[in-house]
Structure 1
Amino acid sequence: MPRTLKCAAIQMRSGTGIAANRDDFERFVREAAQSGATYVQSPEMTGLIQKDRGALLESIFPEDEDPIVATAAALSGELGIWLHVGSTPIALGGEMVANRAFLFGPDGKRRAAYDKIHMFDVDLDNGESWRESAIYRPGEHAFTVGIGNACLGMAICYDVRFPDLFRRQALAGAEILTLPAAFTRQTGEAHWHVLLRARAIENGAFLVAAAQGGTHRDGRETYGHSMIIDPWGRVVAEKDDDEPGIVTATIDLDEVLEARRKIPNLKNIRPFKLSDAELGG
C-alpha cells in the first residue's frame, strides 16, 4: 500500500512586526490545508526578521508567550495537519535568543522543537557580513520525529552546509529531510539548488525547503525558491521566484525505499582512517 503525503512549503517575506507576520502565516497555512496538504512547513524566522539587535530583543517572547507558537498550535489542531514552523526567534532571557523550529501534530500538541545548531558567521562579497553567534545560542541536539507513518529530520538554513547532520538523520530512519531557510540572495543564487539536491541525493530522501524571499523591511534580501525535492534529486515543486506563496507536492514515501535500493550508500558506509600521505619517490 503506497505511503503518500501531500506536503506544502510556504514562502514568506517576514517583516519587523510579529502581528503582521502571524497573520500572513495563518493565511498561508489555511491556504495550504485547503489545497489538501497534511504536512505544512513555513520558513526560517517566520515570526520576525529583524537584524537590529535591540529591536529584536524588544520584540520577541519566551516560548510559552510567543504568538507564532500559539497560532501554530491552534491551527494544527483545528485543521488536523502536521504544522512545522521553520523557525521563529524565541527569547531565552538576558541577551540571547534561540532560532527555534517547532513541529505540531494534528491534535495541536507540540511534538518536537529544534534549535539551529550551525551559526551563520560569514563575510560575503560586497561587504555583506553576518554574525548569528553574537545573539543566537546554538542548539546542541538534532532530531528525527515521526509524522504519521513517516520519519522526518529537522534542520535550519545554514545547517545545509554540514552534510553529517543529514546523514545521521537518514541513518536514524529519516525519509523526509527539512531545510526551512532565509538564504541570502547572494548565496542562494550560487548554492541553494545544488546544496538541497545534494542532501536529497546522498541520503535517498525527500527534502522540503520553505524559504523567505525578497527585500525585507530590515533591508536584507533573501532568495526565495522554496522547493520540494525527491530522493533521486529531482525538483518536484518549486516557487520559481522570491514572491510570497506556497508550493505543494504529493510525495510517495516508497520512493525512498526504491532510491536506497538502487544506491545503497547508507548501507555501504565503511570506517576508514585519515592520515597524512608520505611524499617522495
Structure 2
Amino acid sequence: MVAAIQMNSQDSLTDNLAQLDKLLAEAALRGVKLAVLPENFAVFGAPGQAHTASQLPAILTWLADACRRYRLWIVAGSLPSSHRPDGEVIPDGRVRSACFILDEEGVVQGRYDKIHLFDAEVGDRQATYRESAVFEPGSSVVTVPTPWGRVGLTICYDLRFPELFMALRKAGTDLLVLPAAFTAITGEAHWETLLRARAIETQCFVIAAGQTGKHGALRETWGHSMVINPWGKVLDERPEPTPGVVAVACDLGEMRKLRHSMPLMSHRRLSY
C-alpha cells in the first residue's frame, strides 16, 4: 500500500510537522508502507529556504523518527539543502531542492535534486516565479530500490519534461513519485493530463502528492493528489482542497502483464 500525502504547508516548521505527523499516523493505520510527501512540506515560503536549509539535519532526524514510529518508508517531498550530494557547499548562496527517501529504520536510501526549475509567468496573484533565483538545479537521474519495486524520484516542474521520466523508466523504475506544489491555475489546466501521460508512456505507477489551498496572500496550490496505474487510470484522488491521505495498493503483476502485452520500450525508435 502506497500513499500520496496532501498538505497545506505554511511558514511554520512546527505547525507543518504537527500536520504531517497526523497524516502519517492515518496512513500507517490504513496499512500504508510507502508515503510520498509534497514539495516544500516543511516550510512553504521560498524566501525562507536558506533558513530552512540550516534546519535540514533536525528535519531529517524528525523524519527518521517518524519512519521508525510508523514503520514507513517516506519520500520526503522536497527540502532545501545548502550542500550538493557530494557534500560541496553551494557557493552563491542558493540551495538545492532535494528529495530524500528514508526506509522504515529512518536510514536515507537516496537523494534526488530537482533538475527543472520553475521560472515562469503565471496569471495568478504572484504572477512571476523565479526558482532559479533561490535554487541551483540538480543534474542526476535517481532511482532507489525498495521492497515494492524501484522508485524513480522527481519534483513538481519536472512533470513537464517527459525525457526525465523516460530516463527513469530505462533505469528500471516501477513507481514514479512526484512531490509537487502546482499552482492552482497550471494545476487545473495540466496536472491530471500530464500525470496520466507520464504513467501511460512509461508504463509505471505514478504517486503524486500535492500542496493544496492558500499559502499566504499570493500563493494558491491545486492539490488533487492522486495515484495512477500504468494504464493511465486514476486509482484514487483527493479533490478536496484540504490535507489528507490517498492510499492505494499497487499491483506490480498488473504492470508486468501490461509491459509484456505492449512492450513500448522495445518499440522505441527515437531518443531525446
- What TM-score, normalized by structure 2, do the two folds share? 0.92
Using the alignment, how far apart are the partners of 2:270 and 2:239 within structure 1?
40
Gap change, CA 1:218 and 1:113, over 3 Å in 2: farther
- Counterpart check, 1:61 vs 2:54: yes
Aligned match of 1:73: 64
Residues 50 and 82 of structure 2 are in contact (CA less than 8 Å); yes or no, is this contact kept in structure 1? yes
1:9 equivalent among 4, 12, 15: 4
RMSD across aligned positions (CA): 1.7
Using the alignment, how far apart are the partners of 2:213 and 2:185 within structure 1?
12
TM-superposition CA deviations, 1:98-128 (whole Å, max 9, x none): 2111111112110011111100001123571
Using the alignment, how far apart are the partners of 2:270 and 2:211 within structure 1?
39
Residues 44 and 86 of structure 1 are in contact (CA less than 8 Å); yes or no, is this contact kept in structure 2? yes
SS of residue matched to 1:99? strand
TM-superposition CA deviations, 1:184-216 (whole Å, max 9, x none): 000000000000000000011100000000001
Gap change, CA 1:88 and 1:262, over 3 Å in 2: same
Aligned match of 1:49: 44
Aligned match of 1:236: 235
Identity %: 37
- Which amino acid is 1:135 matched to? V
- Which amino acid is 2:238 matched to? K
SS of residue matched to 1:266? helix
2:73 equivalent among 50, 69, 82: 82
Residues 66 and 90 of structure 1 are in contact (CA less than 8 Å); yes or no, is this contact kept in structure 2? no
- Which amino acid is 1:109 matched to? V
Asked which structure has the greater CA Rg, the reply is 1
Alignment of 1:174-213 (within 5 A): 174-213=173-212
Quote how far apart the aligned CAs of 1:62 are. 5.3
Instruction: Name whichever of 138-147 and 83-92 sits farther off.
Output: 83-92
Quote how far apart the aligned CAs of 1:267 are. 1.2
Quote how far apart the aligned CAs of 1:57 are. 2.9
1:124 equivalent among 101, 122, 125: 122
Instruction: Name whichever of 132-141 and 263-272 sits farther off.
Output: 263-272
- Which amino acid is 2:112 matched to? Y
Gap change, CA 1:216 and 1:203, over 3 Å in 2: same
Residues 24 and 70 of structure 2 are in contact (CA less than 8 Å); yes or no, is this contact kept in structure 1? no
Aligned match of 1:151: 150
TM-superposition CA deviations, 1:66-101 (whole Å, max 9, x none): 42x211111112322211111122334662112111
Using the alignment, how far apart are the partners of 1:7 and 1:72 within structure 2?
17
Can you give the 5+ residue segments of structure 2 that lack an aligned partner in the other structure?
A: 84-88
TM-superposition CA deviations, 1:108-158 (whole Å, max 9, x none): 110011111100001123571100000101111111111114111000000
Aligned match of 2:86: none
- Which amino acid is 1:185 matched to? A
- Counterpart check, 1:172 vs 2:171: yes
Aligned match of 1:139: 138
SS of residue matched to 1:180? strand
Residues 77 and 109 of structure 1 are in contact (CA less than 8 Å); yes or no, is this contact kept in structure 2? no
Aligned match of 1:115: 113
Residues 50 and 218 of structure 1 are in contact (CA less than 8 Å); yes or no, is this contact kept in structure 2? no
Aligned match of 2:27: 32
- Counterpart check, 1:268 vs 2:259: no
- Which amino acid is 1:210 matched to? A
Can you give the 5+ residue segments of structure 1 that lack an aligned partner in the other structure?
A: 1-5, 275-281
Using the alignment, how far apart are the partners of 1:106 and 1:11 within structure 2?
20
Residues 53 and 79 of structure 2 are in contact (CA less than 8 Å); yes or no, is this contact kept in structure 1? no
Using the alignment, how far apart are the partners of 1:44 and 1:108 within structure 2?
20
